[in-house]
Structure 1
Amino acid sequence: MIDKKKILLWRDSRFLKTFFQVFIVLVLGLVILILSNNLVNNFKRLGLNFGLFFLIDSDRTASFSISDSLIPYNSTDSYGRAVLVGLLNSLRVMISGIVLAFIVGITVGLGRLSDNWLVRKMASIYVETVRNTPLLLQLFFWYFAVFLKFPKIYEPGNFYNLIFFSNQGIYLPRPLGNLQTFLFLGFIIFNSFLAGLVWRKRNQMIVQLKKKERPYQGLMLGILIFVSLIFIFGIDWQLPQYNSDINLIQGGLNLSPEFATLLLGLTIYTAAFIAEIVRAGIQSVSKGQWEAAKALGLNPSLVMRLVIFPQALRVMIPPLTSEFLNLAKNSSLAVAIGYNDIYAVANTVSNQTGKAVEMLLIVMITYLVFNLIISTAMNQLNAIVRLKER
């Protein structure tokens, strides 16, 4: 038996692991120290001061306008508020893009496995075309060839006076932010939660009864119709209205051409990669699972929803995380089409103030935090759906 006390220090695996980890940390710390010292010396040589107080200095106004803003903003506001507007614009695109890309990706991925020849081929053409075309080129196509070719503002297109569209943007009805709206939204959320519980119980009964009947189908349909009616008629809506005297569409929710281009481009591009992830995840489930589910009398849609897709989700989540992170980082291409995200705003502030290092640091931290949040959320989801071993 080998005496652990007689093992030489440089042959002890535990010591070597600890030593190399400490050594790497020290080297990284030394590199950061050298770079920081060079940065300080260069700032002194150029007569510059490092600091972020200019963001909240009320005497220094941004002096530039931002077309898209989720919060009130004008050119007389501080640089800090301009950066906040850009940050919210980036967050708006990321969240909307992730949700839409996931929905479209699942739909196209299922289409790739469809028994219908036309659907399968159309999905394949979409995936292969989009995946092999640069994203920036796609953004230029949607912006210059689609949205800027909409009717002029003095002759806007409209859909039953509910939706207007022109080369100035797309105008949709939006709910008013009053007490009645919030009460009805709370009621809708409660009914949606109730519908989710009924849906879960319904799925359990379908499997347990081993019959093709659909229990609670009437109740589910009733809840869906009830919630839809409340959403349409119970909430106060502000409709867009076209003023021909000043050639302007007022009211409603305005989606600018830049925002619509970026959202549509990121959604279509990322969805093509998600579709392949969905297809591969579904095909990774063994054929025995399909046959066992069909033997229980489940129809194809129930087989996919109750048996196959939950198992495929365990395989899909890790690569989905990468695609969501790519979408968040690809949103920085907004500057190419004039959308004022955090990168575009930071670039403008940097040119006006000369605070290039500070603004670059803010942009880096912003994208780092966004990506860490997405990664953490997906890791938690992965921990929930993965197989639990005893």
Structure 2
Amino acid sequence: MPADALAHADDLAAFIAASPSSHHAAAHVAQRLVDAGFTRLEENEPWGSPSGGRFVVVRDGAVIAWVVPDGATAATAVRVFGAHSDSPGFKLKPRPTTGKLGWLQAGVEIYGGPLLNSWLDRELRLAGRLVLDDGTSVLAATGPLLRLPQLAIHLDREVNDRLALDKQSQTQPVWGLGEADSADLLGEVARAAGVDAARIRGYDLVTADAAPGRTFGHEDVFFAAGRLDDLASVHAGVAALAKTGTDGDHIAMLAVFDHEEVGSGTRSGAAGPFLSDVLERVWLSLGADREQQLRSLAGSWCVSSDVGHAVHPNYAERHDPVVQPRLGSGPILKINANQRYATDAVGAAAWAGWCAGAGVAGQEFVSNNAVPCGSTIGPITATRLGMRTVDVGIPILSMHSARELAGVSDLWDLTRVAEVFFRG
């Protein structure tokens, strides 16, 4: 395995460890880019965004960053690399300290579509944001705190023949011993954040696998971690944008949205106004009128990057019999006749060109006709903005598991193609 690919995987492991929630991911992206010379902007302050600048702005669990080239005009086109910061799992409910029979438990609600059995018998963190009595938000993340213990086989002799978890009664993790009326789960989170639990007025807290990401397998070809869907794409976009200079002929932009796993219909989701708000402010700073904005959109691109299914050696019948993406064979172009992905012929040709420019082999993904296809931020972005959009990503196994599996070389190759996309 090339040293660059292994170093990239190690950096991804650190990135994931620092991003256990969407709010952490957005903050960490912003900090990485600030460290790379970007200017942090706030939505409630004037921007300016002159030519030859590099900027980043955070909205809740979403983040958008962009590079304005030297000599940008009112009709300069935009190239957006889109991804999302959230992952399926569990979210803390109101009055979360529960328990019985001497066990302390956490009241959680299922977020998105997690592969429930994959969360059993793992040490889990709680992470997200706390909103305090003065309206300020504080990021919080515990160490290993929770666990969903599975019932022993001796007490369920048919468990290997069928495993169906009750989504309410059998998904409440344990976190200690004692009685619920004398314990405080939020107090544990507050201590981790260094704040007084009595000041907490609201919270968005989710579970995350506590185990670090790592490479393994013959010649270290595999990479396993939680939240690869879709931090693998976020990391690729950050690494690529950080290397992008101001000498291009278009505005290079990274757009990382929250809430993709639950439909994107929020102020920080792809169906919300965040991207259009940022684009309009950038255009206004360049003196663009409405016609010039539309001209810019007409020449713009969005690469919607999210994971797709690699062919599974134990379940080959669930995949298309011909189009079968493999780990280690390059990023994937995602295609769906019913427009669950936004790729069309023009987008396919452009993606092939960017891959060729990076010296990267690409592959395609299409679903088995008998297996329903998921979707991404791609069709949403294309519909909201009219921007030409192509859906891509990396192939993985165990999608929506607490711990997913990717190919080390694919992670590196996606970043290399993103660099070419941003350069033009």
Q: Which category describes the TM-score, using the shorter chain as reference length? A: under 0.3
User: Which one has the largest radius of gyration?
Assistant: 1
Normalising to structure 2: TM-score of the pair? 0.20
Task: Name the structure with the higher helix share.
Answer: 1
